[in-house]
A = this chain, B = another copy of it.
Amino acid sequence: MTAPPRPTVRSKRAADILAAARHILEEEGADALTMRRLAAALGVQAPSLYKHFPTKRALEGALVEQGMLELGSALHGAIEAAGRRRVPVSRLLETYRKAALANPGLYRLATAGPLVNEALADGLEAWAGEPFFLATGDPWNAQALFSFAHGMVMLELDGRFPPGSDLGRTWRAGAVAFSYGRRA
């Protein structure tokens, strides 16, 4: 088990900005997260934000780091809760779904576009993905299971499933498919 990566340390002010940004992101959507809107929420003018983050993408990157850290923590929590036994795939998926849907804006931000993560502490993504390896036992099923979970969350967030779909059952179908450790 890899150690959880330490979050980047930031000034109090920078942390406040991130909190405000996150609030706007979740309450009003990604489009509402503009530098001017964010500045206004902090009672400040837009250019002042650049004293704390060099660019909007950097600010988003910091949000992504937070999101990944929280998601990773949730997943590792599920692993630990299982003690010495292997986590059931279904349990891991439930955790993933719940954690991801709890912060839709952040999740989309973290996994949209080619590379918002740039300087994303390198180990972070690997660490967050580790539970999938622990649940499946091999890297290929781990990646496949992760892809399934990611696809489900994205499609669910984007309302891409036909109305009336029993998504719980779809998640369960995936869980069944990836259980019992079959090899490719």
A residues with a Cβ closer than 8 A to B are 111-115, 125-126, 138-141, 143-144, 146-152, 154-155, 157-162, 165-167, 169-178, 182-184
Contact = CB atoms under 8 A, between A and B. Distances in A.
A143 B126 contact: no
Which 4 pairs between the two chains have the least Cβ-Cβ distance?
A151-B151, A147-B151, A144-B174, A140-B173
Chain copies in the assembled complex: 2
Given A111-B160, A143-B167, A177-B177, 13 more contacts: A111-B154, A114-B157, A114-B158, A138-B173, A140-B173, A143-B173, A144-B173, A144-B174, A146-B151, A147-B148, A151-B151, A151-B154, A175-B184
A163 to B, nearest CB: 11
A56 to B, nearest CB: 14
Interface of A is mostly: helix
Contact of A170 (B125, B147, B152): B147
